[in-house]
């Protein structure tokens, strides 16, 4: 078992570590302890500002500082970033292509007890439709750290989706793992079907693949940490070699990873595709684990979807 740590915690540590770069500036919307920007704020107070509960203002301030040549990270919950900040992200950050990294934490159903108003299941869809926006959804601590470093090197707007709950740090277990923006990673080989996962569903996809062995199904597992630009090559290769694909995400099945993969397949190499995720419904208040079970975001439900995809292929 790998270390259990939330991607937001790993992010906070990584940003602080990279904070020695004097060109990095950070903003937060009065959620420093939740978003873990507190690490950066404590070590580099001269390059940190709390904008208060004013997300739109924070995005505007970030854009202004980025226009001076700085690399700006701004933080709030995913619901407030993608929702309240959408207009400013689109027009003040993406349109002039400024070097602002929008960090949305507490995404998805795993926010838990805060309920539907805070369980953002639309952010991947909203952010990936903005022209020129890079969208990243890391699955664990190791991948999050790599994503932070890659975003600093990348010149342009990015959206980083992070979770509240602790997740197993799995990517260090794979010797050939290499993080690159826009490049998926094959974690497990297989020729019967492909599972393309993002975020915390990567760990569940690996569990489902083990479960499927009992039914004689050898599933390929791809970690699609970058939703945009999507890795078209790895998707087409998987379609040609396995003949069926299942996507899995802690997000609405409409507009997110599943939609992005469907677009690629429709334009290149159509094969049976099943989308696994939140079935276009709002969440409820409850523990993260209870909600993941209630909405079928578990290895058993995913395995069922995979079996259906295999049957469609045959």
C-alpha gyration radius of the chain: 19
pLDDT in tens, 192-225: 999 999 999 999 999 999 999 999 999 999 999 9
CB atoms within 10 A of CB 213: 11
Task: Return the pLDDT at 2.
Answer: 76
Whether the pTM exceeds 0.95: the reply is yes
What is d(CA 112, CA 138) in angstroms, rounded to the nearest whole number? 19
Cα distances from 282 to residues 24, 122, 251, 295, in angstroms, run 36, 10, 10, 10
Region of 108 on the Ramachandran plot (φ > 0 left; ψ -120 to 50 alpha; else beta): left
Q: Which of 9, 55, 145, 250 is catalytic?
A: 55
pLDDT tens series, the chain, 314 aa: 679 999 999 999 999 999 999 999 999 999 999 999 999 999 999 999 999 999 999 999 999 999 999 999 999 999 999 999 999 999 999 999 999 999 999 999 999 999 999 999 999 999 999 999 999 999 999 999 999 999 999 999 999 999 999 999 999 999 889 999 999 999 999 999 999 999 999 999 999 999 999 999 999 999 999 999 999 999 999 999 999 999 999 999 999 999 999 999 999 999 999 999 999 999 999 999 999 999 999 999 999 999 999 999 86
Beta strands 71-77 and 100-105, pairing class: parallel
Task: Return the pLDDT at 1.
Answer: 60
User: How far is C-alpha 86 from the chain's CA centre?
Assistant: 17
DSSP β-bridge partners for residue 278: 252
Contact between 124 and 249 under an 8 Å Cβ cutoff? The reply is yes
Task: Return the pLDDT at 87.
Answer: 97
Query: Known catalytic residue: 55?
Result: yes
Task: Return the pLDDT at 14.
Answer: 98
């Amino acid at each position: 078992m790998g270390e259990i740590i939330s991607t937001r915690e790993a992010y906070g540590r990584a940003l602080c570590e990279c904070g020695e770069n004097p060109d990095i500036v950070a903003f937060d919307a009065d959620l420093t302890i939740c978003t873990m920007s507190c690490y950066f704020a404590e070590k580099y107070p001269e390059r940190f500002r709390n904008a208060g509960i004013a997300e739109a203002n924070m995005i505007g301030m970030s854009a202004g500082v980025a226009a001076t040549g700085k690399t700006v990270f701004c933080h709030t919950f995913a619901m407030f970033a993608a929702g309240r900040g959408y207009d400013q992200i689109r027009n003040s950050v993406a349109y002039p292509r400024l070097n602002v990294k929008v960090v949305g934490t507490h995404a998805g159903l795993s926010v838990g007890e805060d309920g539907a108003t805070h369980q953002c299941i639309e952010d991947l869809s909203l952010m990936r439709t903005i022209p020129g926006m890079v969208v990243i959804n890391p699955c664990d601590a190791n991948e999050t750290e790599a994503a932070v470093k890659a975003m600093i090197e990348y010149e342009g707007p990015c959206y980083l989706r992070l979770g509240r709950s602790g997740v197993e740090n799995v990517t260090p277990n794979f010797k050939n793992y290499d993080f690159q923006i826009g490049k998926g990673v094959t974690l497990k080989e297989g020729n019967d079907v492909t599972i393309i996962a993002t975020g915390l569903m990567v760990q569940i996809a690996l569990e489902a693949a083990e479960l499927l062995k009992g039914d004689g199904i050898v599933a390929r597992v791809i970690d699609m940490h970058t939703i945009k630009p999507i890795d078209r090559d790895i998707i087409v290769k998987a379609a040609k070699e396995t003949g069926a694909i299942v996507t899995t995400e802690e997000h609405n099945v409409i507009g997110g990873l599943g939609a992005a993969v469907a677009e690629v397949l429709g334009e290149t190499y159509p094969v049976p595709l099943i989308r696994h995720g939140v079935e276009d419904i709002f969440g409820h208040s409850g523990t993260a684990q209870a909600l993941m079970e209630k909405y079928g975001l578990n290895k058993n439900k995913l395995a069922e979807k995979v079996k259906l995809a295999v049957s469609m292929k045959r």
